[in-house]
Structure formats: C-alpha cells, structure tokens
C-alpha cells in the first residue's frame, strides 16, 4: 500500500489542543465503531494512542477526557495506576510495566489533526 492509498480522517483542529494537554476524542479506526483516543500536543507535535490500557483493557481516563498525570507529567491509568511515558506510550511503572499503549498515527495538515489509516 502506498501513501496515495492512505485515508486521512480529520479529528479536530490543531488550535483546539492545549499545548502539553491530554485530550480524548472519538474516531472510527476500523469498521464503523467509534473508538476513544488519547491525543497529546507538545508544541508543533501531536501524538495519539488508543484509550485502552494494556493491563486490563479499560479506559485510562477517570471521566471522559479527564486524565491523571504524575508529578513528572506522565500519564497514569485511573483504574490501577499504571504509569506511561508520553513519547512511545510505554508503561514504566505499575501492573503492566513494559507493555505499551497502541499508537495511532496522526498528522497535522491544514490546521487539522488527522488519523492516518493505511
């Protein structure tokens, strides 16, 4: 599959994202069911992961779009406290140490954050 075959679905406007903030949005990734994503903006960069904890398959937010962070700014799962670094989404402490969140490829184009579906 080439990049010409990629579909890029717009999620939200880049300027809606607070720099350094974690955001939750719904997106259709495969099939018709909407899935929850965690979206992080850091400066001009945006990263996204599926909002599913690798420990027990639960959402990481304690309420929709409300995420816990530790003092170092790492994401903490609200269910059992797994702690994830926010570069690769790897769990660095807690019950699923060494596992990782599922990365969802996103790009910023024309001021919009888009999921890259291949």
Q: Which residues bind ligand FES (CB under 6 A)?
A: 53, 55-56, 58, 77, 79-82, 94-95
Instruction: Give burial (CB, 10 Å; 0-12/13-18/19+) of 30.
Output: exposed
Residue 10 Cβ vs ligand FES, minimum distance, rounded to whole Å: 29
Residue 14 Cβ vs ligand FES, minimum distance, rounded to whole Å: 28
Nearer to ligand FES, 16 or 94 (CB): 94
Nearer to ligand FES, 4 or 63 (CB): 63
Residue 62 DSSP class: S
Residue 75 Cβ vs ligand FES, minimum distance, rounded to whole Å: 10
First-to-final CA distance of the chain: 7
């Amino acid at each position: 599959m080439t990049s010409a075959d990629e579909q890029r679905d717009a999620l939200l406007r880049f300027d809606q994202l607070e720099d350094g903030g974690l955001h939750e949005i719904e997106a259709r990734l495969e099939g018709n069911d909407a899935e929850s994503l965690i979206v992080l903006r850091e400066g001009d960069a945006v990263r996204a992961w599926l909002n599913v904890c690798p420990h027990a398959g639960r959402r990481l937010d304690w309420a929709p779009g409300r995420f816990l962070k530790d003092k170092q700014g790492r994401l903490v799962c609200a269910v059992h406290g797994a702690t994830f670094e926010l570069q690769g989404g790897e769990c660095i402490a807690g019950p699923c140490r060494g596992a990782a969140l599922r990365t969802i490829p996103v790009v910023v184009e024309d001021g919009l954050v888009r999921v890259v579906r291949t």
